[in-house]
Chain A
Amino acid sequence: MELSTNKEMQVPIEPAEEKAVSPWLEAWRSFRKNKLAVIGTFIVLFFVLLAIFAPYIAPEGINEQKLTTSDRLQAPSSEYWFGTDDFGRDVFSRVVYGSRISLWVGFLAVIGSIVIGCLLGIVAGYYGKWVDSVISRFFDILLAFPSILLAIAIVAVLGPSLRNALIAIAIINIPNFGRLIRSRVLSVKQEEFIMAAKAVGMKNSRILFHHVMPNSIAPIIVQGTLAIATAIIEAAALGFLGLGAEAPNPEWGKMLSDARAFLTQAPWTLFFPGLAIVLTVLGFNLMGDGLRDALDPRMKN
């Protein structure tokens, strides 16, 4: 099964007698049948579209202040769907624009940790020996911190900003991907086709990128989707603690901390940004679970 995910290896194989179904197609079929996974995908798509078309969807900008009493801290109405905050800004518009920040941070941070984690993991797994010990100990040490705390510490050092929050989230996720790839490399290394590749004198880098990497894509996709979910929560948490996005950025976590003082007066200023976080994260979690069931049937229950 692992062989056929590899395009290089598919070519020289004799055309199969009966039509072989690619594992990706098979995975897609099983994913499509999983109701929760499909719901999750739709939620994610919804927020992605919201982020892309934010200027067309949001009735107002992110920082259009209206400091009159008739516009400040207004309850949800037909004019202001999610009400207004203490600056008279439309909460709905801010939540819509906020999806841009959260998705951006989630994707970028996770891509960053995948790239660095994979490089370290491949090097550790493929070269072994002392390189492996050094890199593995490095992962152990990063994992010895509760992740959010490590992120807080990193931002405390770098200085609070959205960019630094993103960097911190990327760093704390590195060991997860690193370990994953390392173990994949170790198991793929034992496969006969790698031995064959070595025997014909293929270069290490070619073996790594043409044979080892394609065999590790499925678990990275699964882990990556779930990591985006946590990254979004972590970014919101840092924003909430005042260590992420700065005002007037409508980052959902930051919106929650700004609105905290109005919990009694205007609970809607807190309800909707939080709900947006829960839904987005839920979407990625459902999708990730579905992908895992589809791509790695051993994990299925």
Chain B
Amino acid sequence: MLSYTVKRLLSLIPVLLGLTLIVFFMIRAIPGNPAQTILGQLATDEAVAALTKQLGLDQPWYTQFFHYLGGLFTGDLGESLRTKSPINEEIWPFLAATAELAFCAMIIAIVIGVNAGIISAWFQNSWFDYVAMILALIGVSMPIFWLGLMEQWVFAINLEWLPTSGRENVRAPIETITNFYILDTLIQGRMDQFWVVVKHLVMPSFALATIPMAIIARITRSTMLEVMKSDFIRTARAKGLRMFWVVYKHSLKNAIIPVLTIIGLQTGLLLGGAILTETIFSWPGIGRYIYDAINYRDYPVIQSGILIIAVIFVTINLIVDLLYAAIDPRIKYN
């Protein structure tokens, strides 16, 4: 297990280097002079020259790359062209906002998705199975930005149950400690604000949860069906064990690996989907941060923001891989 962990970690090195290289070359792939493109046609030659120098574009690319790489090792992600502040400082609140949203979405997706899948497999071909699987099919075909808009129309505009967008009540801002608003309000014991935060979270989390929920439900159902056909399940049933325990203990334990894979993969993909959800709900997260940077042609932010998300994505996949071995002793890594 240890040697496998080390091996997996080592295999990450070329991938991470490749990632950095791609992200690094992105800014250099802009046709023409990137500084000119960033500043627009009306910029003076001095301004263009100054920006070229600031971005280090006047040096050979390998010098630039190692400079960038060196910066990454010391935690220097560059400087935003728009706000002039270091990216590694200003990125935290955005990352926290996305993490909070993604966490809630994933909890919703796992709880509903896994249970819907289990019940569908348990009562295969029942009306519940049909309805759940049709909903899951529609769920995977759903553009989340449209779902978000429709949620807003129903729950915010027509029913007025939930706030349309944002993360907090702008007139009563939350004192930030950790930037995870749920935690912050709880630490401060502000239950009134806690509910405000929860209300703001409901719609974006459900929108973001839809696709993973649907995929998790489908995978859980199909693996559970497979496991429930096995001999040991028949034995457990023959012993007179209650169906509930057969399903939730014996079967689920053996069906968990593919489900876990998909949960890991979907958590990573969630970070990509977040950019759309955050746009719809004006959620001040990392997706929004990168998207705004694209509109302002703030290339250092685009570069580092994308790199960070990719690194998180790779890390989540690694953790899932390592978890397999911990959960299933049959898996041996050599």
A interface, CB within 8 angstroms of B: 36, 137-138, 140-141, 144-150, 152-153, 156-157, 159, 229, 233, 236-237, 240-241, 243, 253, 256, 260, 263-264, 267, 270-271, 273-274, 277-278, 281-282, 285-286, 301
Contacts and interface: CB of A to CB of B under 8 A. Distances in A.
Contact of A263 (B14, B23, B153): B153
A277 B138 CA distance: 11
B19 A141 contact: yes
A229 B215 CA distance: 15
A156 B269 contact: no
Given A144-B313, A157-B30, A270-B149, A241 B291 contact: yes
Interface of B: 14-15, 18-19, 22-23, 26-27, 29-31, 137-138, 140-143, 145-146, 149-150, 152-153, 157, 221-222, 225-226, 268-269, 271-273, 275-276, 279, 290-291, 294, 302, 306, 309-310, 313-314
B18 A137 contact: yes
Given A144-B19, A145-B310, A285-B137, A236 B272 contact: no
A148 B273 contact: yes
Given A137-B15, A140-B15, A144-B310, A285 B302 contact: no
Nearest to B226: A301
Contacts of A274: 143, 146, 149-150
Contacts of A150: 306
Contacts of B225: 301
A280 to B, nearest CB: 8
A243 B276 CA distance: 12
B156 to A, nearest CB: 9
28 contacts: A137-B18, A138-B18, A140-B14, A141-B18, A144-B19, A145-B309, A145-B313, A146-B268, A146-B272, A146-B273, A148-B273, A149-B309, A152-B290, A153-B302, A156-B26, A157-B26, A233-B143, A241-B275, A241-B276, A241-B279, A253-B143, A253-B145, A260-B149, A263-B153, A274-B146, A278-B142, A281-B142, A281-B143
B15 A144 contact: yes
Contacts of B273: 146, 148
A107 B284 CA distance: 35
A285 B279 CA distance: 26
